[in-house]
Amino acid sequence: MRNFSLSSSTPGITPVGAVPAGESGFAPVAGNDDGSAFETFGEKLSRLRKARCWTQSDLARQLGVSEASVCYWEQNRSRPKPARLESLGALLGAPIAELLGHASPSRVSDLGAMVARMRSEIAQAAGTSPAKVKIVIEM
pTM for this structure? 0.51
Cβ density class 101-125: b for 16+ within 10 Å, e for less: beeeeebeebeeeeeeeebeebeee
User: Same domain for 81 and 50?
Assistant: yes
Tell me: the pLDDT tens digits for 64-118? 999 999 999 999 999 898 889 889 999 998 888 888 876 555 555 677 788 888 8
Residue 124 is part of which domain span? Answer: 103-139
User: Same domain for 58 and 80?
Assistant: yes
User: Same domain for 49 and 86?
Assistant: yes
User: Same domain for 96 and 113?
Assistant: no
- What pLDDT score was predicted for residue 102? 66
User: Same domain for 86 and 62?
Assistant: yes
User: Same domain for 90 and 108?
Assistant: no
Residue type, 66: S
Whether 134 is in a domain gets the answer: yes
